[in-house]
Each structure stands twice: as structure tokens, then as C-alpha cells.
Amino acid sequence: MAQDSSKTLKIALPQMAPVWLDRARTLEKVIGLIGDAAKEKADLIVFSEGAVPGYPFWPELTGGAVFNDHMQKELFAHYSDQAVIIEDGHLDGVCKALKKADMACYLGIIERPRQRSGHSLYCSFVYIDKSGVIGSVHRKLQPTYEERLVWSPGDGAGLVTHRLGEFTVGGLNCWENWMPLSRAALYAQGEDLHVACWPGNLRNTDDITPFLAKEGRSYCISVSGLMRRSDVPGDIPYYKEIKDLMPELAANGGSCIAAPDGSWVLEPETGVESLRFAEIDPKFVRRERHNFDPAGHYSRPGITHLTVDRTRLSLASFRDAED
């Protein structure tokens, strides 16, 4: 069936190896990929979980749960130093590049927000629109397993969707995509293009991507990173110990896109950095919603109803005296 090119959306799917634990150089790489995608007139580019400055692979490798351990403290301090502080303008260059490219973006970052003390870290998924404006910052609700030794639990403030052309797009971090109520919160807002970001492994993306597409009757993008032993830089604390323990391929990618019927638009790709493109058609969503619409005709809100608290959590609320 022919596509209506005036309504389709062009997706840029980079499978990127960050310049590990180096915020500035990884942001340069992100901006370069935005420029490459602009040459193909992409509408949306998506990046992996924690792409800037990279995923924390070391706790699993180095006994990260040892209490008050000097190695873990040093690595955490270095990671914190390289994390993204949005309030300090660390994403301004990305926003400027997106505005110039007339392109929207989902970018995985390790965020160090000043509003939460300025020292705790959050795995955040940032949506930036085509005008270069940050539309939402979703902090991962529950870090997974050893991630809890590094990242803090987020809140519901970023459980929002955004209109992008003919689509309504939303995104979740890694294993949040296995959480039915988190998915339902996005379905309820009309999501028909879902972005799932992962640190990178085929075992995460090959089964859940078509499943999410079929459940939501939506397009589903799984974007993954790449991490090789050769990507461990020589200027980080405990470089030798980490490199000796790092697998040859700690994150093998697996980025892919599935259509609303679960078929592949782009099949999973592993082992290489790449930048692939796909054009998606909203008519495919409408066809598949004929027999199942999870937040529409197939939902029963009078019987089961989800309540979502989208408050941005903080330790204190202040009431100042009026002038």
C-alpha cells in the first residue's frame, strides 16, 4: 500500500558507542550524528539509555556493593562530574543543532539535577522538539538491579507524550518498558510511536520490541548503545582494573524498529556502530487499531482505571513571605 509522504515520519536510528564517561566528547558525537541525520531530512533521532556520558558498567564488574569502598566512591565521583546538568546548559549545543536541523530527539542522559541536591544521579530520557526546546525529562522510575548502586529512583513528572507530525510519541528507559502501568500511562495519552531506550544488548530488544508494538498497536523503536573493551578510556579512575574485567563486547547493540503488527521495519543490528533510517506511516497504526486499541475501544475505564502522579518530587516545599 502506497504511503502518503506528507504524513510519514522519517526516523534516524543511531547505534552509538559513547566516548565513555566523557560528557563533552560524547555530546560532540551526538551533535555530529544529528548533522548526519539532517542530511537525510530525518524528523526524529533517538539515542540509547544513558548515552551521555555512558552506562555504568563497572558496579557489576568490580564488586560495586562493597560498602564505603574507595574504588566505588572514586568512580561515582568521576561519573557525577561527567553527568549532565541541564540547568547549567550542558544540552544547549544539542538543542541548537536540532533547531537548525528541524529535527526532534529523544536523548538518554545521566542527569545530575540541582533541584535534587545537585549530587544524586538519575537515568533520564529527554525529549527535545524541532524548535530545540526541551519538552520533557523523564527520570527512570526504578533503576534495575546493580544500577541502584549508582542511580536514584525517579518520579512520574516525565510520563508524558508529545505530538510530532501525525504521531504521538512517548518513551521509557530500559526495563521500564516491562512495566505494564508505565506503558499504560503513555497509551492513555494517545501514544502511537513508542521509543524504548536500552544500554545495548540484543537479549533486551529482539523479543520485547515486536511485543510492545503489537500490544500498543504502535510503532516501537528500540535504540541501543554499543560498548567494547576498546572503548574504556585510559584517563578514568581504575582504568586498568575495569579494562581487565570488561568483556570484549559488554553491549552489542540490537537497535531495531517494529511496526504496529509486530513485523520488522528495521531488524536488530549487533556489533557495529551505525546510523540507519526508516519512514513510518500513521495509516498502519489506524489499521491495527481497528480490532484493538488499548486506551480506546478495548479499554474499560469504568472497571480498571490508572491514576498517575506526575509531581516532580523534591525534599521540601517552600512558602516565601510576600513582598
Provide the annotated active-site residues: 49, 140, 174
Q: Where are the beta strands (DSSP E) in the chain?
A: 9-15, 44-46, 104-111, 122-128, 134-139, 162-164, 167-173, 193-198, 219-224, 226-228, 249-258, 264-270, 274-280
DSSP letters for 198-225: ESS-HHHHTTHHHHHHHHHTSEEEEEE-
H or E stretch including 47?
none
Which amino acid makes up residue 14? P
Helix (H, G, I), strand (E, B) or coil at 323: coil
Angstrom distance (rounded) from CA 182 to CA 204: 17
Please give the single-letter amino acid code of residue 152: S
Q: Please answer whether residues 311 and 155 qualify as being in contact, where contact means their C-beta atoms are separated by less than 8 angstroms.
A: yes
The span from the first CA to the last CA of the chain, in angstroms, equals 65
Triad 259, 109, 172: Cα angle to 5°: 35
Distances (CA, A) of 197 to 2, 67, 85, 161, 312: 30, 30, 20, 15, 22
Could you give the CA distance from residue 212 to residue 182 in angstroms, rounded to a whole number? 12
